[in-house]
Amino acid sequence: MYKKDFPFFKNTNTVYLDNAATTQKPNVVIDKIVEYYTHFCANTHRSNFGDANKATKEFENTRNILKDFINAKDAKQIIFTKGITESLNLIASTYAKKFKTVIISSLEHHSNITPWHMQGRTLNDGLEVVNIKDNLEFDFEHFEELLKVNPNSLVSVTHVSNAFGTKHDIKKIAKLTHKYNSYIMIDAAQSLAHFKVDVQDLDVDFYAMSGHKTYGPTGVGALYIKEELLKELPVYQTGGATINDVNYERSIMLDSPYKFEAGTQNIAGVIGFSQALNYLNNIGIEKVFEIEDELYKYLNSKLEKIPGIILYNNVSNSIASKSFNIENINCEDIGILLDKMHIAVRAGHHCAQPIMKKLNIDGTIRASIAFYNTKDDIDKFIKGLKKAITMLKD
């Protein structure tokens, strides 16, 4: 029913189950980008003529829509970035430096691991990793032990694992974090498009978001910053548009959000992102969750019946992405055969090598759903998977 809104599906018969890597873009997003470049292409926050004012207004409109989308108090708490990777690196290379210890979970994407290594942090020397329990669940006892030994830390965890779909209880993690005088940053790559996020209710300090995982353009993302931290947070890059007053002796920065947005921004991307959020708002994020939940349960029920399947977690603690292996078959071989059948999934380590190593596997096959998928997509995937298994077993 929703595929008609996405031009990708008009031009292909591919069963697209790689939504955790990037989502397809609805017409409204593409049309808005074309409209910007065709009708009011101008730089923002600089010139004062008609099209420039319109571009600035539309750019700021996205900030307001995103503010409401995550229930931030004020639009100035939203700063635009290239995506999650840049949002996490921004904090890693500025605010995080004041913390002796950074605590991450076992289920992090490389973009929440490598920035800490680049700072010279290594395991048990500036970087701590919370264990996972069976079923890939967050080990709260271990987390509290780490916080007791390392109060005043920065905790940086993903809301939902991209590799396994495991959902972390962020409210509970944030509460414990603050109890030990620490701060918390969340990677929202796999959450924002799937269920209602309320940053005030979660009580997080930083929330890193990605446009392209949320039906918006690539190369655009955002970072939510708790109000009390806006003044304290040092600037990351500076230059045009961040400045209140400059002479050769010193530069005086503007207030947030502008002091964090140096240089010409991805204007088309940010403006296009507003339409992705409007589109989701029109459907209702609760409805999106409901559709995906039903599809996810259906997918799980079909996968569970496949002989030789190895599952790593179950439907009760995960959403949207399902990872698995088939006994004695290389996951990448299955991915290649599925591709030949026009079924797009991801096979490999999903930019999460440490957890794969912990589980002693090279990777998994990951089918990740979006609300535009259908039971028919899942049936085709299961049929293709069974065929691939038969071919590889013989």
Ligand X SMILES: Cc1ncc(COP(=O)(O)O)c(C=O)c1O
Which residues contact ligand X by CB under 6 A?
83-85, 109, 111, 158, 162, 187, 189-190, 210, 221, 351
Q: DSSP strand E in 182-294: where?
A: 183-187, 206-210, 221-225, 243-246, 251-253
- Min dist CB 217 to ligand X, Å, is 11
Comparing every residue's Cβ against ligand X, the nearest one is: 83
Q: Which two tokens stand for residue 239?
A: 């230059």
One-letter amino acid for residue 112 of the chain: N
Radius of gyration over every alpha carbon of the chain, rounded to an integer in angstroms: 22
One-letter amino acid for residue 391 of the chain: M
Of 187 and 205, nearer to ligand X (C-beta) is 187
- Min dist CB 383 to ligand X, Å, is 27
**Residue 370 φ/ψ, nearest 5 degrees:** -130, 165
One-letter amino acid for residue 156 of the chain: S
Q: Which two tokens stand for residue 102?
A: 């950074």
- Min dist CB 33 to ligand X, Å, is 18
Pairing, β 251-253 against β 154-158: unpaired
Q: How many residues does the chain have?
A: 394
- Min dist CB 192 to ligand X, Å, is 10
Of 150 and 166, nearer to ligand X (C-beta) is 166
Pairing, β 221-225 against β 206-210: antiparallel
Angle at 251 between CA 249 and CA 252, to 5 degrees: 130
- Min dist CB 131 to ligand X, Å, is 19
One-letter amino acid for residue 351 of the chain: C
Q: How far apart are CA 215 and CA 295, in angstroms?
A: 18
Q: Which of 351, 356, 361, 392 is catalytic?
A: 351
Q: How far apart are CA 337 and CA 24, in angstroms?
A: 23
Of 83 and 217, nearer to ligand X (C-beta) is 83
Per the annotation, the verdict on 41 as an active-site residue is no
Residues catalogued as catalytic: 351
